[in-house]
Structure 1
Amino acid sequence: MNTLIISTFSCTFDEFKNDVTTLFLEEMCKEFVTDYEFVKVNEHKSHLLMNCTDLEKLGAEMESPFAKEWDKKNNCKDTVYSIKLVA
């Protein structure tokens, strides 16, 4: 399922992208995120487009103690959308 996560954060975009890519997507979510792409909106906001095969597992990882602590440390707020093809 195509998923969009809009994030705001206090760290730089490069720090955010590096941490989310290496720690979250490629480690914690590697079993159910098959493809992803980051889009920089500005230095403290991004759009993350991904193909997620299990939204429940994604939600569980986003609520894990590690993710919650990282979010708190970096003042990260995420809004998650499921995307459907219209035409």
Structure 2
Amino acid sequence: MCKAVENNHVVFMNTLIVSTFTCPFESFEKFVADFHQEEGHKYVIEYELIKVNDGKSHLILQVIDHDGFADATSTPEMKEWDKANGYEDTVYSLELID
């Protein structure tokens, strides 16, 4: 999950979001992809969405602007979607272990 970038800096996935929801996984997957295309790409370089089961996922992200990402995912529209789809999450910060 690591890759070298300019100036010998290494970037890596730095955030894990464990999510539960009542909508079908495919609907959640589309929601995540649409959000990334419309807004999330400003704050997230890369992400991987992993299906645990139909109502649970693990989303691993390379977030470059945590404050911007938090703001974008806390809008009234996002909160409305969360409520309508039984969405709950737990967010973890990841650290690379050498």
CA distance in 2, matches of 1:6, 1:67: 17
Structure 2 unmatched runs, 5+: 1-12
Counterpart code for 1:84: E
Matches within 5 A, 1:54-73: 54-73=65-84
Report what 1:9 is aligned to: 21
Aligned residues: 86
Runs of 4+ in 1 over 4 A off after TM superposition: none
CA apart distance, 1:30: 1.3
Percent identity over the alignment is: 44
1:21 pairs, out of 25, 30, 33, with 33
Counterpart code for 1:60: D
SS across alignment from 2:42: coil
Structure 1 unmatched runs, 5+: none
Q: CA RMSD in A?
A: 1.0
CA distance in 1, matches of 2:49, 2:40: 15
CA distance in 2, matches of 1:15, 1:27: 16
2:88 pairs, out of 77, 83, 87, with 77
CA apart distance, 1:42: 0.4
Counterpart code for 1:8: T
Q: Which structure carries more relative contact order (alpha carbon 8 Å, separation 6+)?
A: 1
